[in-house]
Amino acid sequence: MTQAAEAPAVPSKPRTPWITRSGLAVPLILFALFAVLPPILVVSGETFLLTILTRIMIFAIAAVSLDLILGYGAMVSLGHAAFIGIGAYVVGIMAFHGVSDAFLQLLVVLLATGLFALVTGAISLKTSGVYFIMITLAFAQMAYFTTTSLAMYGGDDGLTLRVRSTVFGMSFLGDRITLYYIVFAALLGAFFLCRTLVASRFGRVLQGCRQSPLRMRALGFSPYRYQLVAYVIAGMLAGIAGALLANQIAFVSPAYMSWMRSGELIFMVVLGGMGTLYGAIIGAFAFIAAEEILSHFTHHWRVIFGPLLIIAVLFARGGLISLIFARRGSG
């Protein structure tokens, strides 16, 4: 029997009620809001909020990429922030040497993060469970300490971008609104790419590997190969988020790839709703918005922020989207 004949037997991920009911409605509403907010904020004079929204979308790209491997592939990576840091440092180092062309930087970002993901993923995926978590953490820490040792590029102090990325010699990314819509376009692309992958044969096999690797091997599929491809794609998307973050802040730092940042990304995915993709966007929005609001009231905002996140996860087992659709269903 051929693999093509066996394809229908690939198990699909159980669809929870809110995912089935929402379809594309929730992400389309989210993207519509992101699209119309800049003119409103500019007219109202709240340009600072534009910067916050740009930051939210950048981390939403990273969270969506993590959800691809965490929510659909059951790969709990505690080193995902390493890809953000690599993407940021590629932009910073190239700018340091006078190379600011955005297309060339993007190509190098994809190559660097793709290669790092391929090598580390090939090793990490030989393990599973807690061992996978720890080895991804170890690789991320290796990347972290490598950047701290780069004295030429600031070491622990980080590196200030001499010039933001340019397109045909013009620096469009220096403008807040232009940068916002570029980040918005990148988020759209990342979301629909991941959604297409999840809905494809590749995605069904990946989800089948998540449920029962043994059964997938019996059907003739190699879980290792599918998981590795997903891991590389997720790493490259997170690298794009890092490149955009470097351009927004005009600064790169080893802190971008710390294990704490990886933990925050996992929290964003779980907080919004794991295995939905758009839940990662909602989680990134809720996480960063709460962080910004609380930090304006007290310097010890983390003391309040931590318990709030724990409460949110405990009482919303399916993430914030489960609360939204549960309320709709009861109303």
- pLDDT of residue 198 exceeding 90: yes
The whole-model pTM stands at 0.89
* Neighbouring residues of 71: CB distance < 8 A, sequence distance ≥ 6: 269, 274, 275, 276, 277, 279, 280
Which pair of structure tokens corresponds to residue 130?
Answer: 């807690």
Q: Summarize pLDDT for 17-69 with one digit per residue, the tens.
A: 444 444 678 888 899 999 999 888 888 877 788 999 999 999 999 999 999 99
Alpha carbons 151 and 77: distance in angstroms, whole number: 28
Please give the share of the chain, as a percent, with pLDDT higher than 70.
89
Per-residue burial over 152-190, b = 16 or more CB atoms within 10 Å of its CB, e = otherwise: ebbeeebbebeebbbeeeeebbeebeebbbbbbebbbeb
Q: Summarize pLDDT for 68-122 with one digit per residue, the tens.
A: 999 999 899 999 999 999 999 999 999 999 999 999 999 999 999 999 999 999 9
Alpha carbons 274 and 132: distance in angstroms, whole number: 19
How high is the pLDDT of residue 3? 42
Asked whether 183 and 243 are in contact (CB, 8 A), the reply is: no
Strand partners, 167: 170
Alpha carbons 164 and 186: distance in angstroms, whole number: 17
